[in-house]
Amino acid sequence: MRKAQGSWEKRILKSLNSMCTELSIPLARKRPVGEQKELLSKWNEMGTDEPDLSLFRPVYAPKDFLEVLINLRNPNYENGDYLSFRTHLGLIQVPLKVKDIPELKELFVELGLTTGQLGIDDATQVPPELFENEHVRIGQKVLAEQDSAAAQQYVRQGSPTALRAELWALILNISSQPEDILYYEQLKTNVIQHDLLVDSLIYKDVKLTASNDDYYFVFEDYLYQVLLCFSRDTSVLGHFAYNSASPPKSYIRGKLGIEEYAVFYPPNGVIPFHGFSMYVAPLCFLYHEPSKLYQIFREMYVRFFFRLHSISSHPSGIVSLCLLFETLLQTHLPQLFYHLREIGAQPLRISFKWMVRAFSGYLATDQLLLLWDRILGYNSLELLAVLAAAVFAFRAVNLMEVTSLAAAEAVLADLSTLKVMPLLQIFLFATVT
């Protein structure tokens, strides 16, 4: 796995470097004073800037990453040439251990049919006395006591809209101390003083994705403020201690190969890909103060999101998620799986982008936030794979009738009307296995 991650990183870095040479733009440069002043005055409205980004391309897109994952093979494992019941028909060919439905039911026990949920039991037809009022009361109590562990347990049943921002901050251990605000201001100064090539990639990504989204376009400015600072935050390097990835290195001009002159590039070690800004966009709904928004995002990234684009064997890593998704589908909807495979529409090809983005931009915001409640609550991303499978199960009837990949994509193009919690509940607890 590490070898695969290493060679993937080499590829990305090569791509970045070649873009750099092609466009003759340095990876980093110090801004002239005039430019610094200008940027500082425009800090709150960077979205109005329209730099020429036509020559920039995102370094990679999720589908490129998928190709890499598909080609992962364990050299110690002999699959054998004969087909059997056990043969995995999906794209991922790495034999990682993934949970099956009974194990998932155990893990996600609070999502069961007999437990109250926000996203189900707060529907208009359900009188609030049955669950919602009590749940809100408990939430307020948890916040009053500032109990982080209790908060984590609490959000497994969903978080009330008014309490969510504080609850998440409590779970992620974010409190706006003066030193945090100072740190953010320091990052901001770094942005003003130096211009990185990566900045243009960030601009391009925001313009391509979040700005075009019907709901997140409003937060465009916040996204720049967060992501530009993020790319300069060296404290993010800390997460590479438990990440199979390693930060890309670059060398001071003229000193190629000499280790003393190696620096991490970008400073936080994370090269953004197409759609990266969508990790931040939903958070803008909850946090409006830039330094707090920044901290929440950074913490979410180093706890969860990084796993979605690095190759590892971790159960919440993207490889495991893909395998979990495919296994669930093959085991419980074999007809559908086989049919889609036959028409050249491997299910993972469609669901991969959902999982890499943690469904941001695909689900309606309120549903997405309910999903992320549970991710925080269970400290695991496995629900992303379960939800992906549940979506396929939900639209199975239509999918059985399609005859091409394009048609399958069309059936699954619009997820904005889906209700996340009922789907998860039905798939995990109400389907006959």
Partner 1 sequence: MSRPKNQNYKAYGSSKGKEREQRTSVRFKTTFMNTLIDVLRHRPGWVEVKDEGEWDFYWCDIGWLRENFDHTYMDEHVRISHFRNHYELTRKNYMVKNLKRFRKQLEREAGKLEAAKCDFFPKTFELPSEYHLFVEEFRKNPGITWIMKPVARSQGKGIFLFRRLKDIMDWRKGTAGKKPTSLEAQQARGAVNPSGSHDSRSSDDQKEEIPVENYVAQRYIENPYLIGGRKFDLRVYVLVMSYIPLRAWLYRDGFARFSNTRFTLNSIDDQYVHLTNVAVQKTSPDYHPKKGCKWMLQRFRQYLASKHGPEAVETLFSNMDNIFIKSLQSVQKVIISDKHCFELYGYDILIDQDLKPWLLEVNASPSLTASSPEDYELKACLLEDTLHIVDMEARLTGKEKRVGGFDLMWNDGPVSREEGAPDLSETGNFATNTHLGCINDRKAQLRQLFRSLQSQKKASS
Of 23, 55, 162, 397, the one binding partner 1 by CB under 8 A: 162
Nearer to partner 1, 47 or 272 (CB): 47
Q: Which lies closer to partner 1 via its Cβ, residue 265 or residue 372?
A: 372
Letters for 186-225 (x = contact with partner 1 by CB under 8 A, - = none) are -------------------------xx-xx-xxxxxx---
The C-alpha atoms of residue 433 and residue 431 are separated, in whole angstroms, by 6
CB of 30 or CB of 288, closer to partner 1: 288
Q: Which stretch binds partner 1 (CB under 8 A): 43-51, 103-111, 340-348, 390-398?
A: 43-51
Two structure tokens written together for 23: 């466009």
Task: Report the interhelical angle of 290-303 vs 178-193 (nearest 10°).
Answer: 90
**Do 302 and 239 form a contact (C-beta atoms < 8 A)?**
yes
CB 236 within 8 A of CB 249: no
**Which one of residues 21, 48, 76, 114 is an interface residue with partner 1 (CB under 8 A)?**
48
125: CB partners within 8 A, 6+ apart? none
161 belongs to the binding site for partner 1 (CB under 8 A): yes
Is residue 121 involved in binding partner 1 (CB under 8 A)?
Answer: no
311 contacts 319 by C-beta, under 8 angstroms = yes
Q: Which stretch binds partner 1 (CB under 8 A): 88-96, 157-165, 298-306, 329-337?
A: 157-165
Distance CA 177, CA 282 (A): 23
Q: Is 417 in the site for partner 1 (CB under 8 A)?
A: no
Which residue blocks in 318-419 are alpha helix, DSSP H? 318-332, 334-342, 347-356, 365-378, 382-394, 396-400, 405-411
Range 259-318, binding partner 1 (CB under 8 A): 284-286, 288
Taking the least distance from each CB to partner 1, the nearer of 133 and 146 is 133
Residue 344 CA to residue 367 CA, distance in Å, equals 31
Q: How remote is the C-alpha of 312 from its chain's centroid?
A: 15
Cβ-Cβ contacts under 8 Å for 39 (sequence gap 6 or more): 31, 46, 191, 192
372 sits near partner 1 (criterion: CB under 8 A): no
Q: Which of 99, 135, 156, 164 binds partner 1 (CB under 8 A)?
A: 164
Q: How many residues bind partner 1 (CB under 8 A)?
A: 25
Minimum separation from the CB atom of position 244 to partner 1 (A): 35
Beta carbon of residue 161, minimum distance to partner 1 (angstroms, whole number) = 5
Q: DSSP code of 269?
A: S
What are the residues binding partner 1 (CB under 8 A)? 44-45, 47-48, 124, 161-162, 164-165, 211-212, 214-215, 217-222, 284-286, 288, 365-366
